[in-house]
């Protein structure tokens, strides 16, 4: 699973840090999950290969699927412990148009609400699965 994030959005970077504290250690490996700033060279390549233009927050590439908006967020629950998967199951009951509208509303306002932050995972478990500033030095 590759998770493309807006590398200078504090909410997106905070999501990576939050996930890093909750993803079981055995799943938090570059073979299972990789966080990539969408603005990085590799992120730009991945987005182009996926046919995504106008990237602006979180995209999940998983087993040939390109997941965006609410579907991307719900897909991240698959790497979390059971209680989060149950919450995601409840989220899937919400109709996709409503989920995506909520996602777009938060995405539109995230910079004004949370500010900007450079990608930083140097002192966390996420450092080994983050490609970009202060994460992995080279792409796997």
Distance of alpha carbon 93 from alpha carbon 46, whole angstroms: 30
Say whether pLDDT at 134 is over 80: no
**How wide is the angle at C-alpha 86 spanned by C-alphas 84 and 92, nearest 5°?**
105
Give residue 106's pLDDT: 92
Length of the chain: 140
| Percent above pLDDT 90 for the chain | 31
The pTM of this model reads: 0.83
pLDDT in tens, 101-120: 999 999 899 889 988 876 55
pLDDT in tens, 8-27: 788 888 888 888 888 888 88
Given the DSSP bridges, would you call strands 34-37 and 2-5 parallel, antiparallel or unpaired? parallel
Give residue 116's pLDDT: 81
Say whether pLDDT at 91 is over 60: yes
Per-residue pLDDT band for 122 (boundaries 50, 70, 90) equals: very low
Report which secondary-structure segment, H or E, holds 22.
helix 10-22
């Amino acid at each position: 699973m590759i998770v493309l994030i807006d590398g200078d959005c504090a909410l997106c970077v905070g999501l990576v840090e939050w996930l890093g504290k909750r993803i079981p250690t055995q799943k938090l490996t570059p073979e299972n999950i990789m966080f990539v700033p969408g603005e990085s060279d590799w992120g730009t390549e991945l987005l182009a290969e996926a046919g995504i233009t106008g990237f602006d927050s979180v995209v999940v590439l998983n087993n040939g699927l390109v997941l965006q908006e609410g579907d991307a967020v719900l897909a991240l629950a698959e790497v979390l412990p059971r209680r989060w998967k149950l919450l995601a199951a409840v989220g899937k009951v919400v109709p996709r148009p409503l989920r995506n509208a909520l996602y777009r509303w938060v995405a539109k306002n995230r910079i004004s609400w949370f500010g900007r932050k450079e990608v930083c995972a140097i002192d966390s478990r996420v450092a080994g699965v983050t490609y970009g500033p202060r994460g992995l030095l080279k792409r796997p």
